[in-house]
Structure 1
Amino acid sequence: MPKDPKLGDETENPAGPVPAKYFTAIIAGLAVLALAGLGAAAYFYNQVGELKANPQKIAQEETAALIARVGRLIILPTDEQPTVATVADPEKLKDQPFFAKAKVGDKVLIYTNSRKAILYNPESNIIVEVAPVNIGQTAGASTE
């Protein structure tokens, strides 16, 4: 006597057991996912190893990318590499007019030979401030 699903009795699977081809496809899919995961893990492990071996290279690449982004907004000196700093606490710098609009994470590019400082906001991709740099000169000193 057939069992009625409306009465809550268990019924047999009308298609029968799961075919072997579906089982094989599931196993193959899981194997592909596992290999992709292992490949990603190996890639990131290698990246961390490179960073530990040569942190200066990463810093140079980041500086070059920053110069390229800022260079699209303003003409930069090409005869020198800037000193780059990141604004960590703008409250400590608020008394200096150059940093009046600075935010956490803003970058400062200082070109010593060209005597130029640029405050750049990477989030908004805007130049916040540009100012001359006076290095090695005391206030009130005159050059005659």
Structure 2
Amino acid sequence: MTDPFAPDAPAGSESFDDDEESVRPGPFRRHALWAAGVAAAGVAMGWVTSLFRIGPEEYGLPPAAPGSLWPYLTAWAVIGLVVAGVLRATAARIPVYAPGRTAVALTYLGTRLSLGRRPEAPLVAAMAAAALVAAAVWCAVALHQHRRRAEA
């Protein structure tokens, strides 16, 4: 596949297909915006799917736990940004399969579980560590596959 972001690429040929493995080079600002957008999408999806647990009782189940949602939303926005950053930094150098969907899924799961249960800080930290380990393993698998292809 040709690089749609190359200087000689025709205008409007940008491909956002996340299904294929390809190197995603580009300037830092594009990587940072991508990571921020993916993190925001994961947090927003987690929040929307948790509305029936965090809204008024007339709209669903009684609230899961008392307390503010903002610390959890903020924490998962930062965690999602780091997870997306790790995946995108790896995808900028070697082909990684679906880094966007992986980052959104990890951020979504953490947000959804945190808003539904409202765990204490150590458990949120453990969930964050699990998300980061999953992203690192995803990148390690991609690196291993890249090395095997290079040797062949």
User: Which structure features the higher share of strand residues?
Assistant: 1
TM over 0.5: no
Higher relative contact order, chain-length normalized (CA < 8 Å, sep 6+): 2
**Given the two structures, how large is their TM-score scaled by the length of structure 2?**
0.21
User: Which structure has the greater CA radius of gyration?
Assistant: 1
User: Which structure features the higher share of helix residues?
Assistant: 2
**Given the two structures, how large is their TM-score scaled by the length of structure 1?**
0.22
